[in-house]
Every structure is written in C-alpha cells, then in structure tokens.
C-alpha cells in the first residue's frame, strides 16, 4: 500500500463524521468481488498494526519518565504523611493549653483569697495536668482510656493515633466512635503456631482494628483488618510453654491468634474486650427501645432571649422536627444476623435470601436513622459472606458433575441478591470448564470419523443443555447477559474447532473423510436452531482456513497425478478384458453424471477413449463432489479456481497432442477424446457446480467456449487455450 493511499485511508478513518456502517456499505457497492474486499481488509489491518506499533513505541520512549515520576510521587506521599503527623501533634498540643491553664488560674485565685496556700494550689494544677496528658496513649505497649476528657477529647485521641495507620481514614467518618484500648501484639499461625507478624490493635467502642507494623517507618502502621464487635468472639488460650499469654479472636469463618507482651496485658485485653462488647450491646438495646417507643407531638424549641439582639431582627421560630422512628424490636429482626450465620453454615442459601428479602421489604419506604444503618451494616457483612460462598459453589474448582442444572441453585440466589452480572459470568465460566474437561476426556479412536461423531455429540449436547439452562435461569434479566452468552458460545466453538481440526486436518486425512467430518459437524450445529441459536456462520469462519488448505493440497495431488499420466500417454483405446469390468466402469461414469457413456463403448470390452481421459474424468468429478460437501460462500473462489487449474492441465495436454500428432488414426482418436472432454465432461462439471452452489460459474463457461474443437487449428503449433 502506497504512502499516499495509507494517508488517505487514515484521514478517512480519523474524520469526525466517519460512520462504519455507511463506509462498509459504500465499499461493498464499489468492490468487484471478494478479492477487493480482502485487499481492503488487509490495508486496514496493516494500518491498525502500524498504529499499534507507534503507540507501543511511544510508551517505551516514556517508560523511564513514568518510573521516575512514580518514584517521586512515592517520596512525596511519604513526606506528606510525616507532615500530616507533625501538624496533628502540634494541633493537639495547642488545644490542650487552654484546658491546662484554666485549672491553674482557678488554683491561683483560691490561693490569693486564702492568704498564702500557693503550694497546695500548684500541686493541684500539676496533678490535673498529669491527668490530662496521661489520657493520650503512646503507640507502643498498651494503654487504656480509663480517665480523660469527654467525647471531643476521645475523638481527638482517635484521630491522633489513626494518623499513624495508613489506609484507615474512612474510620474517622463514623460519628460517636472513639478509642478504648490499644497495644502491640504478635500474631501466630493457627495450625502450626508459627510466628507471622507484629501487629498493633486498636479497640474502638464498636470495632477492633488490626494494623501491621512497618519496620522501615518507625512508629507507623498499615491497615490490615477491621472487625465489628457484634460478630467477634474472644477465647482465652491456655498457656502451654513456650506458647503463653495468647488469646484467640473468632470471626466467622476465620480465626486469628495473638500473643500479648505479658500476662497482665493479656488479662487487660480480655477484660476490656468483654466490657466493650457488653457496653455496645447495652447501647444498641437502649436505642432499639427508644426507637420502638411511641412518638409524642413535635417539640418547639423556645428561642433564647438575647438582650443584645435587636427586636426588629426577630424571626419566627422554626419547630424542630423529630426524626421518625423505625421499630426494630421484633424478635426476627433481633435474631436476623445470627439466623443468617446459621443459614450460611448449613448451606441453606434459599433461607438466607428469603430472610434478606423479608428485611428489605420491611424497611422499604422507611427512613434510615442510625439504628437502621447499623443493622444494615451488620446484614451487609452477612450478604458479603453469602456471596462468597455462592461464588465458590460456581467456581470451576468444584465438581463439574451434574450438568448445567447443578449450578441453578447458586445462580438463582445470586440473581436474587442483585448479582446478575456476576452470576452470568460465573455460570459461563463453569460451563466452559465443563466443556473443556469433557472434550479432553474423549478417547481418540483409530477411525477419525468415529471420533468426530463422539466429539460432536459431547460438545453440541453440552452447548444445547447450557443454552436451555441459561434461558431458564436468566429469563427476565438484563439483555446484556444474552450478549455475554453469545460471546461465550463463540469462544466454546473455538475450543471445539481446535480439537476438530487437530484430528481431521492436521493428521492429513483424505478429502472425502474431511468432507464427511465437516458434514457431521454442520448437522449437529444446525440442531441449535431449535432454540434460536445459529452458530453455523461461526463454524464456517473458524474452519475456512483449514478447508482452503485441504482443497489446495488435494488439487495439487490431482494435478501431479494427471501430469504423470500425460507423460506416459500412448493414445490407445482401453481394453477392460471382462464384461464385469466394463459394467463397473459404466456405473462409475453414470455416478459421475456422464449419462451418454454408452456411445463411447465398442465391441466386446473395448472403450473408445484413452485411459488418461477416463481417469481424469473420475478424479475430477470425485474432487468436485467432495468439495461441494465442504462448500460455503467464503470458499466459492477457492473451489472455482481449483477446478479451473485441474481442467486446464487436461485441456492443454489434449490440445498439444492434437497439434503435434502426425499419425491420422491417432489424430482422429485424440479428436474423439477431446470431443468427450469438451462436449461431455465440461458441461457435466458446470451443471454439477451450479447445482451444488446455486449459481452458474462464468469462469467454467469461458473455459469451455475457449476450448472448442472448432477453434483448434491442427496445422498450427501455437495453443489458443
């Protein structure tokens, strides 16, 4: 393709008003045939490859800059973390100054009034200062929020500590959350009691955060896990030297073992965990009782009198609207999280989804006060666990026995959970693994056709069952799932064609065997039309290269055999010796479509034709019959060109012999053979080709018209063919 043509094509494809459908329509109207379309396709493919190479080259040129930029960003991020930590410490120090000055000032005033008790006042101020600073726990060791300021101070302490933990900024968004206890721990592997890593535990009033220690950044941690206290169980691990001072945390479906620094800290961890869990349960019980209590009339907040406020600025008082309550005191709601855990453990997926549907129906069109949000958060954790179990049920690692119906249970529950896309993906992935396994388990028989029958039966039966099950499971869902199924079916067909071609075409089977195998595959593929799935065009597109190679190979075999017989041609009549052999030849020629073969037979067992011409007729008609079994529109030109090449070999040999032969008797015999070729064989080839393809072949008509006897000049040595 020239540079100007490529540039013109690139500008056309990059234009703003380019429409692919209109472009293809115009191209089809302007092209003369398949060759033009193939050439244009190659030009577009070359342009796409050139664009991909340019893009790859640009990426490689900028690759080093990308690496350096990423490194600078990493350094900048580390510095920003350190800067944020310093600013937080400075802010905490500044905020604590007024709290320490007020008690000191009060103590000084009391000392002045009593006439000289400065020592006692100073000691009181120092004691209070120690109480305030003692509230801020150090990152190392363990500390407990036993005494300190109110909610604001607790929130500030939580903020200060969590600034040292990467990846947990979202925790600060929860209102009313504060730090209760924290300390260093060592985690051990549950089965073999091998030490895993150093961690730091942060116990909040509603959850436990576990962060891993960063050795390269002293005093900093990375977020590891967060466990709600209502789903957490604490178990004391009996000391068994050298394994001691350990306790276990149970979170369905996992568990973790931690070791404290000493027995005292271990006891504190166990006590504070139990106390915090009890406090959280008591708090939620009170909130649910308040939510279930009857609502009174909305209270109007009186406007506070302000002597400095101008009377002209008085505005009407807006009554405070009390938030609507939701009754969560019912027994089934209270036990819902535990019931979901039981259903998941017992693999009662339908029961779990029924409970979720019941809850969603109850909370539909209701407000979302904090108790409802907390309930939904607890339920969402169970939904995540249920989804993971259902996903595992559909994974290819599970047993693939039972066919597509075995996946219906998990698929239907995923769809009810709103995971339709994930259910579709997992279902198709499961069936792809099942089809692949079934194909691999097939025994390769000695007879190719027998193996192909088994292969087609296994594959297309699996495909048909999958399609019917898919239609049952995903009826009424998003239509995008059906598009995904079509893509999957094409991928599965590629898997089938790989196994098919490896056995049929790679093993160099005869053209007749290949034709029978392709015919079997087409017949099975057409059975999918019963459910509205037509994949015939896909199997054609995937097999076209292999069939082209088979036709080309067999064409070369026929041409070589014809040339070999032509080199030994003596132009003598055939003597079949027995009537049985003559009758068999007549039947063979009749099956080839030559109905007037009787006129070329002589007395006894003689045939007034050359052995070369008779053999060429049988071989050419056999090739045509087998090729028509393989035919589909994409192979039209390949088959036609192969036929023309084969016929030209025989026609040119007859024409050459007719011009070069000097013996009158042999020349008359050659003319008789030429007449048989031009007036009998070529019309039969044209007719059979038109019957098999559905349209006449102009190239065959032109070949026959250009090869008539009347246009052959016996005195000339120049061929007109």
**Per-residue model confidence (pLDDT) at position 268:** 92
CB-based contacts of 37: which residues, under 8 Å, 6+ apart? 27, 28, 31
- Position of tokens 């019941």? 358
Dihedral class, residue 326 (left if φ above 0, else alpha if ψ from -120 to 50, else beta): beta
The gap between the terminal CA atoms of the chain, to the nearest Å, is 34
Q: What is the DSSP letter of 363?
A: H
What is the widest separation between alpha-carbon atoms in the chain? 159
Q: What is the DSSP letter of 60?
A: H
CA dihedral sign, ordered 192, 196, 199, 203: negative
| Token pair for 493 | 């067909």
| Token pair for 309 | 């406020």
Bridge-partner residues for 574, per DSSP? 607
**Per-residue model confidence (pLDDT) at position 272:** 92
CA distance 48 to 42: 10
Is residue 113 packed enough to be buried (19+ CB in 10 Å), middle (13-18) or exposed (0-12)? exposed
- Evaluate whether 454 touches 424 at the Cβ level (below 8 Å): no
Q: Which of 153, 198, 213 is nearest to 179 (CA)?
A: 153
Kind plus residue range of the DSSP H or E element containing 208:
strand 207-213
| Token pair for 596 | 């007037």
**Per-residue model confidence (pLDDT) at position 479:** 61
Angle, helix 611-630 to helix 636-660, in steps of 10 degrees: 170
For residue 252, CA distances in Å to 58, 225, 382, 383 come to: 50, 14, 10, 13
CA distance 309 to 317: 15
CA distance 141 to 720: 105
CA distance 268 to 278: 15
CA distance 545 to 498: 12
| Token pair for 329 | 């005191």
**Per-residue model confidence (pLDDT) at position 170:** 67
CA distance 288 to 271: 26
Bridge-partner residues for 213, per DSSP? 221
**Per-residue model confidence (pLDDT) at position 122:** 39
| Token pair for 215 | 């050795």
**Per-residue model confidence (pLDDT) at position 19:** 80
DSSP 248-304: EEEETTEEEEEE-SSHHHHHHHHHHHHHHHHHHHHHHHHHHHHHHSPP-PPPPPPPP
Give Cα 487 distance to the centre of its chain.
Answer: 11
Could you list the mean pLDDT of each consecutive 10-residue stretch along the chain, which spans 721 residues? 68 77 79 76 85 79 70 71 74 66 46 41 35 37 50 68 75 75 89 86 89 80 86 82 84 84 91 90 83 57 45 45 68 84 86 89 82 85 88 76 76 86 88 87 80 89 88 76 87 90 83 88 84 83 88 90 87 85 86 83 82 90 88 86 89 86 85 87 88 83 65 41 34
Dihedral Cα 29, 35, 40, 42, nearest 10 deg: 160
Give Cα 605 distance to the centre of its chain.
Answer: 70
| Token pair for 54 | 């340019």
Bridge-partner residues for 230, per DSSP? none
Asked if omega into 242 is within 30° of 0 (cis), the reply is: yes
Using DSSP, state whether 367 is helix, strand or coil: coil
Three-state SS for 550-566 is HHHHHHHHHHHHHHHHH
CA distance 212 to 245: 20
Q: Which of 344-375 are b and which e, b meaning 16 or more Cβ less than 10 Å from the residue's Cβ?
A: beeeebeebbebbeebeeebeeeeebebbebb
Q: Which of 131, 75, 78 is nearest to 103 (CA)?
A: 131
- Evaluate whether 385 touches 337 at the Cβ level (below 8 Å): no
CB-based contacts of 270: which residues, under 8 Å, 6+ apart? 234, 236, 247
Q: What is the DSSP letter of 576?
A: -
Q: Which of 535, 492, 496 is nearest to 517 (CA)?
A: 496
**Per-residue model confidence (pLDDT) at position 720:** 37
User: Rounded to the nearest 5 degrees, what angle is found at the Cα of 205, between the Cα atoms of 199 and 210?
Assistant: 15
- Position of tokens 């052995």? 611
Number of other CB atoms surrounding residue 199 within 10 Å: 20
Length of the chain: 721
Using DSSP, state whether 109 is helix, strand or coil: helix
Using DSSP, state whether 592 is helix, strand or coil: coil
- Evaluate whether 494 touches 515 at the Cβ level (below 8 Å): no
Asked if omega into 253 is within 30° of 0 (cis), the reply is: yes
CA distance 203 to 179: 6
- Position of tokens 């089965």? 191
For residue 181, CA distances in Å to 210, 268, 278, 279, 574 come to: 12, 9, 15, 14, 109
| Token pair for 556 | 């070369």
CB-based contacts of 12: which residues, under 8 Å, 6+ apart? 18, 23
Q: Which of 178, 228, 177, 273 is nearest to 378 (CA)?
A: 228
Percentages helix, strand, coil for the chain (3-state, rounded to 5) are: 65, 10, 25
């Amino acid at each position: 393709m020239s540079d100007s043509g490529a540039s013109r094509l690139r500008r056309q494809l990059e234009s703003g008003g380019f429409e692919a459908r209109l472009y293809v329509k115009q191209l089809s109207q302007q092209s003369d045939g398949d060759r033009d379309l193939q050439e244009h396709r190659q030009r577009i493919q070359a342009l796409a490859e050139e664009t991909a190479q340019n893009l790859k080259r640009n990426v490689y040129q900028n690759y080093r800059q990308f690496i350096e930029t990423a490194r600078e960003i990493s350094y900048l991020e580390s510095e920003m973390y350190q800067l944020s930590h310093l600013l937080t410490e400075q802010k905490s120090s500044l905020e604590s100054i007024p709290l320490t000055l007020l008690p000191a000032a009060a103590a000084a005033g009391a000392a002045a009034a009593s006439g000289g008790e400065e020592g006692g006042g100073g000691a009181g101020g120092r004691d209070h200062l120690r109480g305030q600073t003692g509230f801020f726990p150090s990152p190392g060791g363990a500390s407990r929020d036993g005494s300190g300021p109110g909610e604001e101070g607790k929130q500030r302490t939580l903020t200060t500590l969590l600034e040292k933990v990467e990846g947990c900024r979202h925790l600060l968004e929860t209102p009313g959350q504060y730090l209760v206890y924290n300390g260093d721990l060592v985690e051990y592997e549950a089965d073999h009691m091998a030490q895993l890593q150093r961690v730091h535990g942060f116990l909040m009033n509603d959850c436990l955060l576990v962060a891993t220690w960063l050795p390269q950044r002293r005093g900093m941690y990375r977020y590891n896990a967060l466990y709600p206290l209502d789903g957490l169980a604490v178990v004391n691990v009996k000391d068994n030297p050298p394994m001691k001072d350990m306790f276990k945390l149970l979170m369905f479906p996992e568990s973790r073992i931690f070791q404290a620094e000493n027995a005292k800290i271990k006891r504190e961890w166990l006590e504070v965990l139990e106390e915090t869990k009890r406090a959280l349960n008591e708090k939620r019980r009170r909130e649910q009782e308040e939510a279930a209590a009857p609502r009174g009339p909305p209270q109007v907040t009186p406007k506070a009198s302000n002597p400095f406020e101008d009377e002209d600025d008085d505005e009407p008082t807006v009554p405070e609207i009390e938030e609507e309550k939701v009754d969560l005191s019912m027994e089934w709601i209270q036990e819902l999280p535990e019931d979901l855990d039981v259903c998941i453990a017992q693999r009662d997926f339908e029961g779990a989804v029924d409970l979720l549907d019941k809850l969603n129906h109850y909370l539909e069109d209701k407000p979302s006060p904090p108790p409802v949000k907390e309930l939904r958060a607890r339920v969402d954790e169970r939904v995540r666990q249920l989804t993971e179990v259902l996903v595992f049920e559909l994974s290819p690692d599970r047993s693939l026995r039972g066919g597509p119906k075995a996946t219906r249970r998990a698929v239907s529950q995923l769809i009810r959970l709103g995971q339709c896309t994930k259910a579709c993906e997992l279902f198709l992935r499961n069936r792809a693994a099942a089809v692949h396994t079934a194909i691999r388990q097939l025994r390769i028989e000695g007879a190719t056709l027998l193996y192909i029958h088994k292969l087609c039966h296994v594959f297309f039966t699996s495909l048909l069952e999958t399609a019917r099950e898919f239609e049952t499971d995903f009826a009424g869902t998003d239509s995008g799932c059906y598009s995904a199924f079509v893509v999957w079916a094409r991928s599965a067909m590629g898997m089938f064609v790989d196994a098919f071609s490896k056995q049929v075409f790679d093993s160099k089977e005869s053209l007749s065997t290949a034709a029978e195998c392709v015919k079997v595959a087409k017949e099975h593929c057409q059975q999918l039309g019963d459910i509205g799935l037509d994949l015939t065009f896909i199997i054609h597109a995937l097999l076209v290269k292999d069939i082209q190679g088979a036709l080309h190979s067999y064409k070369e075999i026929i041409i070589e055999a014809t040339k070999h017989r032509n080199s030994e041609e003596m132009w003598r009549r055939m003597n079949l010796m027995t009537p049985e052999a003559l009758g068999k030849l007549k039947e063979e020629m009749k099956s080839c479509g030559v109905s007037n073969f009787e006129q070329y037979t002589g007395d006894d067992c003689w045939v007034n034709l050359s052995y070369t011409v008779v053999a060429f007729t049988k071989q050419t008609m056999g090739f045509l019959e087998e090729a028509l079994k393989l035919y589909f529109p994409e192979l039209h030109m390949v088959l036609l060109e192969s036929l023309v090449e084969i016929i030209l070999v025989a026609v040119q040999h007859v024409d050459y012999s007719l011009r070069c032969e000097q013996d009158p008797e042999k020349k008359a015999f050659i003319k008789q053979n030429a007449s048989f070729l031009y007036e009998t064989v070529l019309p039969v080839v044209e007719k059979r080709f038109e019957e098999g393809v559905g349209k006449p072949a102009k190239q065959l008509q032109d070949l026959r018209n250009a090869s008539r006897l009347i246009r052959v000049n016996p005195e000339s040595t120049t061929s007109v063919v």
